[in-house]
Structure formats: C-alpha cells, structure tokens
Amino acid sequence: MMLMSRLGNEGLGHLRECLTQVSLPSDDVSESGRQFYRFEINGEWLAYGGLEGAGADMLLRSVVVNDALRGRGVGRDVVSQLERCAASQGAKRIHLLTNTAKAFFLQNGYVVCERAEAPVVICQSAQFKYLCPAAASYLQKTLPTTRD
C-alpha cells in the first residue's frame, strides 16, 4: 500500500532534485502556503506531489513520479490522493498549469480552461505569475462533494 507523508523543510532537498530533473519549478517549494507529500512503499520513494493555497480553490503542484514507475498508474493514484487531501481541507476545485502532462490530466477528469477564467487567488500564485510560461495549459477539476 502506498504511504503518503507530508514533507517538512528537511525533506525538500530530494523533491527539488526530482523536480529539476523533469524541468518543473522548484524555486518556491519552501515558501509558506505550500504542502508537499512523498509517496512511498516500504521506504522507497515512488512520487512527490503538492498542494498550494487554502479554501475552495487550491493549486495542484509538482507531481513527479519515479522514472522506473511511470506508466503504471502511480501518477493517477498520487493525483487522486492529493485531490482527496484537498477536499478534506475544504477545496471545491483543483487548478493546475502544465507544459507536458495535459493529456494525463484530461484522462483524470480535468478540463482545459482559459487562464482569464482562473479565480483571483489562483492568478496571484507564483505558478501563474512567473514560474510557468504563458504557453502552459491551465486545467481545473471540480472535486466531488464528500459526505461526513
């Protein structure tokens, strides 16, 4: 079973290395308002992923899967766990920007939107302002409502 654990500042080094290897932004991972998670089985890392913000709209950040495990459903499981995590914190929608994984996110229920349609809180993020190029695809997904 895949274990999801939240990273503290001491765990961000390997995350930064992995993000750099796949050309994802890593400059702001230690700033406040971000939560990053390590996904592993028996202590071996499978993937990383994160969330940014709080409230009804959150940003999906920095999903990276171990090269040896790509194409085996790990990314899908990571995104699903991050969506549940966001929903448990009150998120109603997840937003993201991507240069290379648009097809993956479309297969996982995300829809392409115009950047101008993004909520102000998302537009004010470093991802939207300067970390991701204007050519990056903007996608969002409405999360299912959970019942207590």
Q: What is the pLDDT of residues 62-121, one digit of tens each?
A: 899 998 888 889 999 999 999 999 999 999 999 999 998 999 999 999 999 999 999 999
In the chain, % of residues over pLDDT 70? 98
This prediction's pTM: 0.93
Tokens of 86: 């966001």
Taken in order 96, 34, 86, 39, the sign of the CA dihedral is positive
Is residue 142 pLDDT above 80, yes or no? yes
Question: Contacts for 28-33 with beta carbons within 8 Å, 24 or more apart?
Answer: 28/126, 28/131, 29/62, 31/126
Domains contained in the chain, number? 1
- List the one residue out of 8, 76, 78 whose CA is nearest residue 41: 78
Q: Residue 134: inside a domain, yes or no? A: yes
d(CA 38, CA 54): 20
Q: Is 104 domain-assigned?
A: yes
> Within 56-126, where are the H helices?
74-88, 102-107, 120-123, 126
Strands 137-142 and 93-98 come out as antiparallel
Any domain includes 147:
no
- Residue 73 sits in a domain whose CATH number is 3.40.630.30
Contact 54, 33 (CB under 8 A): yes
Q: Which domain holds residue 81?
A: 3-142
